[in-house]
Structure 1
Amino acid sequence: ERKLEDEQRQFKPVRDYAAAFRTPMVITLAIQYFCWSVGVYGFVIWLPSMLKAAGETSIVLVGWLSAGPYLAAAALMIIGSYFSDASGNRKNFVWPFLLIGAVAFYGSYLLGTSSFWLGYGLLVVAGGTMYAPYGPFFAWIAETLPRNVAGGAIALINCCGALGSFVGSYFVGWLNGVTGGSDASYLFMAVALLASALLTLTLRGHADTPAPAL
């Protein structure tokens, strides 16, 4: 409890939620999380349909293949969070993963339907790297704002993420229907993740905290 109190004294005081919601960091992270969620939920909702459309695979095989990105995500979330805690750095364990996800989606867009298994490998990379930064991301918010406003800021950022999840789910499905394939969807999600990574880079500092003994 004493250590937590000492950490709170390091924060610049923020009077209330209204003041917190106007800070450049909260506004930027809200937009960043919106873009990030566009990619995540466009991927989550439509992954089985994209796999089915990309190759002549059975529904059972599609089910097994759909698990691949989430297995990668489970491993990367643990690894990324461990090293983020060990280094005390948050920012540098958020934007690189999102950038890699954007590149993987763009690679899937360039491949089209020419190579199913290579395209699937890129989707595994994209899925894993989109989930990897969640721990460092939300720890970053709590380590940047005092506790009297941190909960409200996280709620606002989550609301923007929920809106992004709707936009991603809707527009990926719409693009798939209009174009008759997944290529445009991959490009759309790549752009959304790239925007999220770039917005993260615009934030000053990286919320360094003393690295705990692990």
Structure 2
Amino acid sequence: MTTTIATGHAGLAPAAEERLYAKVTWRLIPFLFICYVVAYLDRVNVGFAKLQMLNELQFSEAVYGLGAGIFFLGYFIFEVPSNLMLHRFGARRWIARIMFSWGIISGAMMFVQTPTVFYIMRFLLGVAEAGFFPGIILYLTYWYPSARRAKVTSLFMTGIPMAGVLGGPLSGWILATFDGAHGMAGWKWLFLIEALPSLLLGVMVLKYLDDGINKASWLNDDEKRLLQANIDADDAKVSEHSMLGGFRHPMVWVLSAAYFGFIMGLYGIGFWLPTLIKAFGVSSPETIGWLVAIPYAAATLAMIWTSTHSDRTGERRWHVALPALLGMVGLIASTLLPQTPLVAVATLTLATMGIITGLAQFWCLPPAFLRGAAAAAGIAVINSVGNLAGFVSPFIVGWIKDVTHSTNNGLYVISASLVVAAAIALSMAREKVNQPR
């Protein structure tokens, strides 16, 4: 059915505009969400594999922490080139390439036998996946003006907690059910089974995804013009569009530091949550899987509520900073309160809600400064530099745990990084990042 058009801002009546953006959202976000669930699950399922593979392969906690984190070195090196390739050649082909390659390498993790091979495979997985997340963030700027971006970004990024909600029980079940099947350990089956959806989705990307508004056959000409008019009006407010500007804009590097703090928290939780819960007296992989799902389910609800409130009010800075501080409180509480499974799940739920919610809101900040090729470069720089924390965080926690036999000091370091992220968000100019209402 053709959308009825009335004249007004960007030529679109409010009710018709809402219907049109709802149509776009239902077309794009559920599919991108599923892709991100699979991507994030393949990235962090090593946290569940750890429950078995460390004993079988005789890896230390430091070896695991280095291997978990070295993913992000490959990610860092290839992130910016990957995002620029997506901007040049289109999202459909490039995202499909990413999903094919990471699916193959993720499945090949089942052949790891030595620390060296573990490090190499994790590095290659980072190379393969580089560009997926910032590519999607960039892709959303092709469709949505900045005033609508908090909610859709959060809906997409609910893939992070939902990977925990779905992946926790699934990973625990695979470890328990398939361990020893056909002579293979459960952790090998885990890598193999959870790699298969990536390959299937890679095929679906080629069939389903469009490179932009003008390529969308499911939109009529009037709808395309009106969506593009909103994007063009939004672009006119942004100071930097060139690729070189995306590298040299000072806010890119300031935001990289804030994102580094959030990623310290994200992967401190993502790679160690199963281990932290196990340390509080839970031994069954299946039970650990279900308990891991609780923090991520709560984070999903927190993300959706916060993003809706942020778009409704137009306020951005506090919607980034307060969740970061909430994450800090949860992490510190997990080290200070009595060590029981109930307290562990409650405090780690608080931490997970804060970290992931703040992380999603963070991505409303860069497009306030960058568009076009500058956004492609700048978003990739922020994501790649920030994701170096994905190397630092698990390695620090693993090294400290080997030395002190406790994760507490590692969690204090992560908590401090979240405070820095909150401070940077609050230091930004209100009139630049907030949306007028």
TM-score, normalised with respect to structure 1 = 0.89
Instruction: Give the aligned partner of residue 9 of structure 1.
Output: 236
Which of 346, 362, 372 in structure 2 is aligned with 1:137?
362
Q: Pick which of 60-69 and 16-25 moved more.
A: 16-25
Give the direction of change, closer, same or farther, for the CA distance of 1:19–1:52 in structure 2 (3 Å limit): same
Matched pairs, number: 209
Deviation at 1:40, TM superposition (A): 0.8
Do 2:238 and 2:369's aligned partners in 1 also have CA atoms closer than 8 Å? yes
Deviation at 1:37, TM superposition (A): 0.5
The one-letter code matched in structure 2 to 1:104 is G
Instruction: Give the aligned partner of residue 52 of structure 2.
Output: none
Q: Distance in 2 between matches of 1:119 and 1:78?
A: 24
The one-letter code matched in structure 2 to 1:3 is N
The one-letter code matched in structure 2 to 1:64 is W
Computed over aligned residues only, the root mean square deviation of the Cα atoms, in angstroms, reads 1.9
Deviation at 1:117, TM superposition (A): 1.8
Deviation per residue, 1:178-214 (Å, 9 max, x gap): 2112222221221121121122222222512245xxx
What secondary structure does 2:318 align onto? helix
Which of 11, 26, 38 in structure 1 is aligned with 2:264?
38
Which of 338, 345, 349 in structure 2 is aligned with 1:120?
345
The unaligned stretches of length 5 or more in structure 2 are: 1-227
Identity of aligned residues (%): 30
Deviation per residue, 1:72-120 (Å, 9 max, x gap): 111111111111111222222111100110111111122263x442232
Which of 319, 327, 331 in structure 2 is aligned with 1:101?
327
Which of 402, 411, 432 in structure 2 is aligned with 1:186?
411
The one-letter code matched in structure 1 to 2:367 is A
Q: Distance in 2 between matches of 1:127 and 1:192?
A: 15
The one-letter code matched in structure 1 to 2:302 is L
Deviation per residue, 1:12-48 (Å, 9 max, x gap): 2x36333333333211110111121111101110111
Instruction: Give the aligned partner of residue 298 of structure 2.
Output: 72
Instruction: Give the aligned partner of residue 389 of structure 2.
Output: 164
Q: Distance in 1 between matches of 2:322 and 2:351?
A: 12
Which of structures 1 and 2 has the bigger CA Rg?
A: 2
Deviation at 1:149, TM superposition (A): 0.8
Q: Distance in 1 between matches of 2:298 and 2:332?
A: 19
The one-letter code matched in structure 2 to 1:74 is T
Q: Distance in 1 between matches of 2:360 and 2:412?
A: 26
Q: Distance in 2 between matches of 1:134 and 1:43?
A: 13
The unaligned stretches of length 5 or more in structure 1 are: none
Instruction: Give the aligned partner of residue 88 of structure 1.
Output: 314
The one-letter code matched in structure 2 to 1:7 is D
The one-letter code matched in structure 2 to 1:171 is I
The one-letter code matched in structure 1 to 2:313 is S
Query: Is 1:58 paired with 2:284?
Result: yes
TM-score, normalised with respect to structure 2 = 0.45
What secondary structure does 1:148 align onto? helix
The one-letter code matched in structure 2 to 1:181 is S
